[in-house]
Structure 1
Amino acid sequence: MRYLPLTHADRGEMLSRIGASSIDDLFVDVPPEARLDGPIAGLPMHASEMAVEKHMRRLSKKNLAAADAAFFCGAGAYRHHVPASVDHIIQRGEFLTAYTPYQPEIAQGTLQMLFEFQSQVARLYGCAVANASMYDGSTACWEAVAMAGRVTKKKRVVLSGALHPHYAEVVKTMAKFTEDEIAGAAPSLTPSPDVDGLVSRIDDQTSCVVVQCPDILGRLTNLQQIADAAHEKGALLIVVNTEPVALGAVKSPGEQGADIVVGEGQSIGVGLQFGGPYLGLFAVRDPKHVRQMPGRLCGETVDASGKRGFVLTLSTREQHIRREKATSNICTNSGLCALAFSVHMTLLGEKGLRALAAENHRLACLAADRLAKVPGVSVLNDSFFNEFTLRLGTDARDVVRKLTGDDILAGVSLGRLFPNNADLADGLLVAVTETTSEEDIETLASALEGVLA
């Protein structure tokens, strides 16, 4: 017997209350081409469990796994080596089953882990306070924009043209509901970011400037000039970082004047996982902004006996008493992914992180030098960490497709990221990490020589 807690009359009353004529009205924002109009093609309607397992295995064999290819994809999701001990620890029952502590003070181990995680993120970002994580980097980016609006009481948001386009789209989508004005820009294939051009777009109505570093083309930016220009106009500087390993080698955004630093934590402790779940990081440089932060914050205290303990210090979210006055409607944190991040970071330590960053950069330099020797290929960047942009002189999407047939995942084409910008079509974003071998680099270079000949 099916469990249907709501009757037809109940559903009709709910729809009437919100002004919807039918359940279909709730899906009008989903493009028609993305909606299912019937059963999923290729899946049998009825089958035994064993038959379904065999069918799914056949489907899975169509995937080309990162570990089975010469892998150079990045653009916000990076393949790094995750020690086996990380997975072992996060699968312990006391962590794996503790989705979120609804009676938080009872879960002292979970709270301590989140407190340690916050401390690691704050130090990594050069900030005073970090929260207990968010869903992913893109939603953290929007939450930073919303927070800047609350702090400055302004509604104009300046986005760098070199911000990851998926992050920019999330900001634009959410801004439809807050009436913020989003001043975006197109990226330009120049060796260095156009800092002067970005600064010229900041005015007295600007609430924040959003900059990515390293940016979507892999370029590094001196953030201090942007911070000074934003602060002069009463705006906040939000810095997005999608590759936290880079912060083992470059100066932290907080040290360069960023007011809010957000990003994706997937690189540390979390595998690629077909795109998720991932881990949003969020920190602020000035403690006075702590009550405007979204999400949850864990704090250290002492109990009635004077012993060290941990508490959920702030949780001004809509599920609790704040309701419509909540700083965010993000209801929880990515607890298990945050634990994986914290375990991996603890295993690395500061010395290990710096060594990992140095190895990433060394291999990336080797790759850039070798690929620049391929006839018809040029390296765009004046600076980079472990990711850089190639100019191929032809549509990079075609090149990527051809090389995939040879088990080479050559990178992410800019034409895929920016499909409406023909000027970027010959750009290929190449990422190199410690998992990339010198043999992989030579394989890619030789393949490019063959395809571009």
Structure 2
Amino acid sequence: MRYHPLTDADRRQMLAVAGAASVDDFFADVPAGKLLAGDLALPRGRSEIEVERLLSRMAARNMTAGSVPFFLGAGAHRHHVPATVDHLIQRSEFLTAYTPYQPEISQGTLQVLFEFQTQVARLTGMEVANASMYDGSTATAEAVLMAHRLTRRSKAVVSGGLHPHYRGVTRTMTTMAGATVADLPPDPTGTEDILAAIDDTTSCVVVQSPSFYGHLVDLAPIADKAHACGALLIAVFTEVVALGAIEPPGAQGADIVVGEGQSLGNPLSFGGPYVGLFATREKFLRQMPGRICGETVDADGRRGFVLTLSTREQHIRRDKATSNICTNAGLCATAFSVHLTLLGGAGLERLAAVNHANAVRLAEMLIEVPGVTLLNETFFNEFTLRLPGNAAAVVEALAAKGILAGVPVSRLEPRHAQLSDLLVVAASEVNTEEDRDAFVAGLREVLG
């Protein structure tokens, strides 16, 4: 197929149809300080060998998660991924599989996604789940838009314990839809009164548990208040392994459950790709974004799989679409499903127990360091510390010693200066006693 570039006349014609004076008009909503003024500062005209060497030198500047004691979390967690997972998803029928536009010849892909949906529904305590989303943040925003459609209201009450990135994505997507987001202040102590913010104009209440700061939240009373006011409860999680230890959100009254599935089967990968999980009640099925794979029988009575529901804009009239999401995180969802299948229910519970025990042990050791305070009464494998000084500076000092100690809250909440001494710390099954000792010793030295 030959490439035919657009002419200046072509561009002028497209701009006229779109009602824009120039291409720059399409970027009017991007803050001026975020726009690139010129070309990227990259070398040009290098040979393949030179490019490989240049990129290798750039990559070598990264400190990889597996090379040092690692305690970062805040929505992206390091867990052990069995070698079997990578071996299976590298098979050509999985690696090259895409959204099944021709379901009748995509039986393997459809079956994997059907099993994935079943696992997500059982994990979350819900009745139906879709065939995955891009990530937890976009799944959260889509859940809010879904709640607006169901309730015919447009105000979302968002907990101060929701991950800041999730709040930002939700605000961006809902604002473009003409909706309102009532953000509660950051809640590092887990003491907010979200019930007081729910009223008869509320469409949905968005609550994360474990929260961004690690607190476990009792969702039942929030669900009761939301339902009494005609609103829906959207339960969010960023650490799916926690569902192996805590009561599923569905059993606590949640109407929609969304979150990040990266912890199972998917490495950190410097930020992605990840896999968003989305589940809900069966009565809300037709307003759920994405697609659903179902099980049926063919004309000869043989078991088969089909694309049961697809409400995205490529498959139906655009004005009837529930979402413009154009694919699912198929390979990441497959990795998730393989890992969870290897674990089984009992294995997931044991994995969760090890995560919690390692986090408790780490917290006990860290609060022995003078000046360090634990803000959590409850947590799973992540908690928040108050340090005697700027947490970001402490993290940088520890990184220089080869210890990745956690995520300073100020990195994700830069507008709240009062949070600059807070550090979110995560532990998992990969952390050893040697790692914990190094963290404690390094922190003692840095804090003097």
- Under a length normalisation based on structure 2, what TM-score does the superposition of the two structures give? 0.98
Per-residue CA distance 1:20-72 (angstroms, 9 max, x = gap): 1111222223333433333322x321111001101111111110001111111
1: CA distance between counterparts of 2:275 and 2:188?
Answer: 29
Partner of 1:228: 224
Is contact 1:294-1:327 (8 Å) kept?
Answer: yes
Shift, 1:188, TM fit: 3.0
Aligned partners of 1:38, 1:427: CA distance in 2, in Å? 37
Matched with 2:144 is 145
Distance (whole Å) between structure 2 residues aligned to residue 306 and residue 134 of structure 1 = 32
Q: Which residue of 1 aligns with 2:253?
A: 257
Provide the C-alpha distance between the structure 1 equivalents of 2:230 and 2:188, rounded to a whole number of angstroms: 30
**What is the Cα deviation at residue 410 of structure 1?**
0.6
Matches of 2:39 and 2:60, distance apart in 1: 22
Secondary structure, counterpart of 1:47 in structure 2:
coil
Shift of 1:95: 1.0
Matches within 5 A, 1:353-372: 353-372=348-367
Confirm or deny that 1:330 pairs with 2:325.
yes
Measure the CA separation in 2 of the matches of 1:366 and 1:238. Answer: 32
Deviates more, 1:406-415 or 1:10-19: 10-19
Matched, 1:34 2:47: no
Alignment of 1:213 onto 2:209: yes
Maintained 8 Å contact 2:151/2:231: yes
1:341 aligns with 2:336: yes
Which residue number corresponds to residue 200 of structure 1?
196
CA RMSD of aligned residues (A): 1.2
CA distance in 2 between partners of 1:107 and 1:189 (Å): 47
Distance 2:366 2:124 in 1: 32
> Do structure 1's residue 64 and structure 2's residue 67 form an aligned pair?
no
Quote the sequence identity (%).
61
Indicate which of 225, 237, 244 corresponds to 1:248.
Answer: 244
Calculate the TM-score normalised by the size of structure 1.
Answer: 0.97
Q: CA deviation at 1:244?
A: 0.5
- Residue number in structure 1 paired with 2:3: 3
- Which residue number corresponds to residue 298 of structure 1? 293
Q: What letter matches 2:57 in structure 1?
A: R
SS for the counterpart of 2:197 is coil
Superposed CA offset, 1:400-428 (max 9, x none): 11111011111000111111111211110
1:427 has 2:422 as partner: yes
Q: Shift in Å at residue 310 of structure 1?
A: 0.3
Deviation at 1:6, TM superposition (A): 3.2
Compute the displacement of 1:10 (Å): 2.4
1:186 deviates by 1.2
1:408 aligned counterpart, secondary structure: coil
Match of 1:289 among 279, 284, 288: 284
Question: Structure 2: how far apart are the matches of 1:5 and 1:420?
Answer: 45
Aligned to 1:438: 433
Task: Determine the structure 1 residue equivalent to 2:43.
Answer: 44
> Does residue 23 of the first structure (1) align with residue 23 of the second (2)?
yes
Matched letter for residue 123 of structure 1: R
The Cα shift of 1:353 comes to: 0.3
**Aligned match for 2:233, one of 234, 237, 246:** 237
Alignment: residue pair count: 448
Counterpart for residue 274 of structure 2: 278
Cα displacement (A) at 1:210:
0.1
Q: CA deviation at 1:216?
A: 0.6
Separation (CA, whole Å) in 2 of partners of 1:33 and 1:177: 21
Instruction: Report what 2:311 is aligned to.
Output: 316
Specify every segment of 5 or more residues in structure 2 that has no aligned partner in the other structure, as ranges.
none
| Mapped partners of 1:45, 1:5: distance in 2 | 22
Moved more, 416-425 or 297-306: 416-425
Counterpart AA for 1:29: D
Structure 1 segment 389-400 matched on structure 2, within 5 A: 389-400=384-395
AA partner of residue 4 (structure 1) = H
Separation in 2, partners of 1:281, 1:300 = 20
* Aligned partners of 1:193 and 1:219 also within 8 Å: no
The superposition leaves residues 79-137 of structure 1 with CA deviations (integer Å, 9 ceiling, x where unpaired) of 00001111111111111111221111211000000000000000000000000000110
Give, as a single letter, the amino acid of the residue that structure 2 aligns with 1:292.
Q
Q: Is the 8 A contact 2:161 2:188 kept in 1?
A: no
Partner Cα separation in structure 1 for residue 187 and residue 245 of structure 2: 26
For the 8 Å contact 2:233–2:255, the answer to whether it is kept is: yes
Q: How does 1:51-200 map to 2 (within 5 A)?
A: 51-190=50-189, 192-194=190-192, 197-200=193-196
| Alpha-carbon distance, 1:2 to partner | 8.3
Q: In structure 2, how many angstroms separate the alpha carbons of the residues matched to 1:81 and 1:4?
A: 48
